[in-house]
Amino acid sequence: MNRHIDRRTFLSTTGVALAGASLLRGNHPALGAADEGKGAPHAEILGWRLGCQAWTFHDMSLYDAMDNTAKLGLHYLEGYPGQKLISSKPNDTFGPKLSASLRSDVKKRLADKGLKLVNFGVGPADRAAFDFGKDMGLETLVSEPPFDAFDQLDKLCEEYQINVALHDHPRPSRYWSPDIVLKACKDHSKRIGACCDTGHWMRSDIKPLDALKQLEGRIISFHFKDLNKFGESAHDVPWGTGQADIKALLAEVKRQKIKPVFSIEYEYNYGHSMPELVQCVEYFDKTAAELSDS
């Protein structure tokens, strides 16, 4: 099975609520100094927040994902439903059904690591998810809700002051095309918009830069990726070395004067990707520095 479709196939066959639980394979090998990063201080000047989607570490626990995100020098994390908290307790998985005491443990762990849990998904955007989001201090639920749910989402977004970002898995998933996202959002709350998965656009043969321009005014967050090529068989590569044109994408984000959360979602070389993630962070911050001076 191609690695880039693992998540999509898994979610469609087992349900979002269990995502990741059966894929976990134990602890990441020991990480050396080469796997450490310095974060993205120049990006912060532009108001951009760079973090990790915990799916990048779905072969580990949530606490391992926190450790590695902090090790990269980053301060933001996007969780996903079904990741076990610690490797020794596979039944304690992250999501709305997590007990109050374990939620407190997660919050303490985040604080100890200097991390903020900003987003959560891809998962449901129902009242239970919003309740969970409020308790965890989330800004955004990343979701692929039914098309008939948007009137209710308007009310929930306003009530909880939490965004819903529509995520694009590759076609033929529900929101694979920017056209579909825009049609779904039309005449609805400005808290509803796009979670721009640049890699999945490429797998659907959509140029990410064109999609960003099309979605102007509705961009909330990113699952940021650079792939080696367009098409279904593409895979992640360190940012700036693939075909996404990362520099042009970041220039477009600056032009639109938006300050989204960029979640690294690296879906390749699982268990051994930290050196590549360091490269991604370094390229992102280097490009942000160049854009800050322009």
- Measured between alpha carbons, how far is 33 from 183 in angstroms, rounded to an integer? 47
- pLDDT range class, residue 87, cuts 50, 70, 90: very high
| Rounded average pLDDT over 92-115 | 98
CATH architecture of 3-293: Alpha-Beta Barrel (3.20)
Who contacts 108 (Cβ-Cβ below 8 Å, separation ≥6)? none
Q: What is the pLDDT of residues 142-182, one digit of tens each?
A: 999 999 999 999 999 999 999 999 999 999 999 999 999 99
For 52, phi and psi rounded to 5 degrees? Answer: -120, 140
Q: pTM for the full model?
A: 0.89
| Rounded average pLDDT over 92-99 | 98
Question: What rounded mean pLDDT belongs to the chain?
Answer: 90
- Measured between alpha carbons, how far is 76 from 68 in angstroms, rounded to an integer? 11
Percent of the chain whose pLDDT exceeds 70: 88
Q: What is the pLDDT of residues 240-270, one digit of tens each?
A: 999 999 999 999 999 999 999 999 999 999 9
Q: What is the pLDDT of residues 2-50, one digit of tens each?
A: 334 444 443 433 333 333 333 333 334 434 445 578 999 999 999 999 9
Q: Which helix (H) or strand (E) holds 221?
A: strand 219-224
Residue 166's closest CA among 152, 184, 187, 148? 184
Q: In this predicted structure, which of 34-48, 66-80, 255-269, 278-292 has the lowest mean pLDDT?
A: 34-48
Q: Which 3 state secondary structure label does DSSP give 196?
A: strand
For 116, phi and psi rounded to 5 degrees? Answer: -120, 125
73: left (phi over 0), alpha (psi -120 to 50) or beta: left
Whether pLDDT at 195 is above 80: yes
Whether pLDDT at 204 is above 70: yes
Q: Which 3 state secondary structure label does DSSP give 201?
A: helix
| Rounded average pLDDT over 71-79 | 98
Percent of the chain whose pLDDT exceeds 90: 86
* Residue spans per domain, the chain: 3-293
| Rounded average pLDDT over 227-244 | 98
